[in-house]
């Protein structure tokens, strides 16, 4: 068994892993990326649509272009990349075992960055009744078939869920001559970014049916129809509203789940809402020296924010490996309150002098509101300009350290209407 020693071992070579690696390397750390796929880039390679990079590069890039800019940096910086290498286990003391074509590899890491991303929820996760014929795909699998493997998933599709990948695929299918009958969303509001609804549905005359869901899939060998029905405010189908739609393909865009099997093995505590690791402001998990960033930590709305988060995690991991990470015990907890579903990070240090980036999402749309952060009863942050909050958009706010210096007691983040 081969053994390697690195300052920073990064698990996953998607957008988070790439940015974390570049940033750690810039801190003069010895860095390795372990990637189970045959190439770097992760999900960006199949996201051929444009819309990436507006914040980081100030231009509109496609997924492969966004990835290539980072892959080029990884090559230029001589970062070690292990492709076709799947991590099997991570221990609390940062021993990482992986398997590749040559057998088992062993890594001793000064710090580990978890950057495994997320995966899609499937039909099983939402329990759609009916037959089990072929033709039911997650939107991402259909995206992979069409964009990477040149395979046509079907001829007429119904899309369940208005997540971004579903919307992007509605356009992609239409452009490739596959009819999209409509997009059905159980919630009374869309789940994807608004610009995707315009660019992917409105532009092509594809209807979006809110408060409506698939109640049955029909077709023993291959899907031949689905039954849809309107739902009430408790998301229960309303009798009498059922309608049968002929189709041979069903795409599911019903949510993403951070992929944390390895984190669990390492003893990392997970947040029940984000399904990602609990982290402090350094993006360090409750296991010292193990950091997390990107969609494995919490599902992001745009990749640019994955990049900035991962750069931070990479830098902090490199500092940790060199025993140079400032760590204080004066951590206070950050709680989500009211319409705020979760916060990342869950802990901050009010005494370290660094400004805090607080990220969160709301559970339901709010037409006009402001973000308010309190330390006990004392208000320490209030957003100046009221705006719209959507569950599909991640909020990022900077809390000045001076505002919370000396505070005792937990912070609560809420939105006031």
Name the residues that contact other proteins, by CB under 8 A.
Answer: 45, 48-50, 54-55, 60, 62-65, 68, 146-150, 175-176, 193-195, 198-199, 203, 301-302, 393
CA neighbor of 253 nearest in space, from 303, 187, 310: 187
**222 within 8 A of 134, measured Cβ to Cβ:** yes
> Least distance in Å: CB of 103 to other proteins?
27
CB 235 within 8 Å of CB 161: no
Q: Which is nearer to other proteins, 187 or 407 (CB)?
A: 187
Q: What is the DSSP letter of 337?
A: -
For other proteins, give the closer residue by CB, 263 or 295: 295
Q: How far is the CB of 63 from other proteins (least distance, A)?
A: 8
Cβ contact 360:158 at 8 Å? no
* Residue 359 CB, nearest approach to other proteins (Å): 14
SS3 117: coil
Shortest Cβ 126–other proteins spacing (Å): 26
What six digits make up the tokens of 228? Answer: 């849809």
Looking at beta carbons only, is 312 or 395 nearer to other proteins?
395
* Gap between the terminal Cα atoms of the chain: 59
Closer residue to other proteins, CB minimum distance, 390 or 399: 390
* Residue 111 or 200 with smaller CB distance to other proteins: 200
Min dist CB 69 to other proteins, Å, is: 9
Nearer to other proteins, 316 or 359 (CB): 359
- What minimum distance in Å lies between the beta carbon of 137 and other proteins? 18
Strand partners, 280: 347
Looking at the Cβ atoms of 44 and 254, the one nearer to other proteins is 44
Q: For the CB of residue 194, give the shortest distance to other proteins in the complex, in Å.
A: 4
Residues near 36 by beta carbon (within 8 Å), at least 6 away in sequence: 84, 85, 86, 87
Nearest to 393 by CA among 212, 190, 242: 190
Residue 256 pairs in a beta bridge with: 120
Does residue 199 contact residue 173 with C-beta atoms inside 8 Å? no
Question: Could you give the 3-state DSSP secondary structure of residue 365?
Answer: coil
- Spatial separation of the C-alpha atoms in residues 146 and 400, rounded to whole Å: 46
- The DSSP element (H or E) to which 126 belongs, if any, is helix 123-126
Question: Closer to other proteins at the Cβ: 60 or 244?
Answer: 60
At residue 95, the 3 state secondary structure works out as: strand
Asked if residue 20 lies in contact with residue 115, where contact means CB atoms within 8 angstroms, the answer is yes
CB of 251 to other proteins, least distance (A): 18
């Amino acid at each position: 068994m081969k053994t390697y020693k690195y300052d920073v071992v990064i698990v996953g070579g998607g957008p988070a892993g790439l940015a974390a690696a570049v940033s750690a390397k810039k801190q003069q750390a010895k860095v390795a990326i372990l990637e189970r796929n045959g190439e770097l880039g992760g999900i960006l390679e199949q996201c051929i649509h444009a819309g990436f990079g507006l914040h980081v590069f100030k231009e509109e890039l496609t997924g492969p272009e966004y990835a290539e800019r980072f892959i080029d940096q990884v090559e230029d910086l001589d970062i070690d990349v292990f492709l076709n290498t799947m991590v099997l286990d991570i221990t609390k003391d940062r021993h990482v075992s992986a398997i590749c074509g040559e057998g088992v590899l062993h890594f001793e890491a000064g710090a580990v960055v978890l950057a495994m991303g997320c995966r899609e929820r499937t039909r099983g996760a939402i329990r759609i009744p009916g037959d089990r014929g072929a033709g039911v795909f997650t939107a991402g699998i259909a995206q992979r078939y069409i964009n990477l493997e040149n395979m046509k998933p079907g001829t007429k599709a119904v899309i369940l869920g208005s997540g971004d990948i579903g919307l992007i695929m509605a356009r992609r299918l239409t452009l490739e001559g596959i009819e999209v009958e409509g997009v059905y969303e159980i919630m009374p509001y869309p789940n994807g970014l608004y610009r995707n609804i315009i660019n992917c549905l409105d532009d092509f005359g594809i209807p979006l049916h809110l408060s409506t869901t698939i109640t049955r899939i029909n077709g023993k060998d291959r899907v031949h129809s689905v039954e849809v029905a309107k739902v009430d405010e408790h998301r229960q189908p309303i009798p009498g509203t059922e309608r049968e739609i002929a189709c041979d393909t069903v795409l599911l865009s019903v949510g993403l789940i951070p992929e944390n099997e390895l984190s669990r093995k390492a003893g990392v505590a997970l947040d029940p809402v984000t399904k990602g690791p609990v982290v402090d402001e350094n993006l360090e998990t409750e296991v010292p020296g193990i950091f997390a960033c990107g969609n494995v930590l919490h599902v992001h709305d745009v990749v640019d924010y994955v990049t900035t988060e991962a750069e931070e995690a990479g830098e902090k991991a490199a500092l940790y490996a060199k025993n140079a990470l400032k760590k204080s015990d004066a951590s206070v907890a950050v709680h989500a309150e009211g319409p705020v579903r979760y916060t990342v990070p869950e802990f901050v240090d009010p005494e370290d002098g660094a400004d805090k980036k607080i990220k969160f999402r709301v559970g339901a749309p709010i037409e006009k509101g402001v973000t308010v952060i309190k330390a006990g009863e004392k208000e320490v942050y209030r957003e100046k300009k009221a705006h719209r909050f959507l569950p599909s958009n991640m909020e990022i706010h900077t809390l000045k350290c001076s505002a919370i210096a000396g505070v005792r007691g937990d912070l609560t983040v809420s939105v006031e209407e």
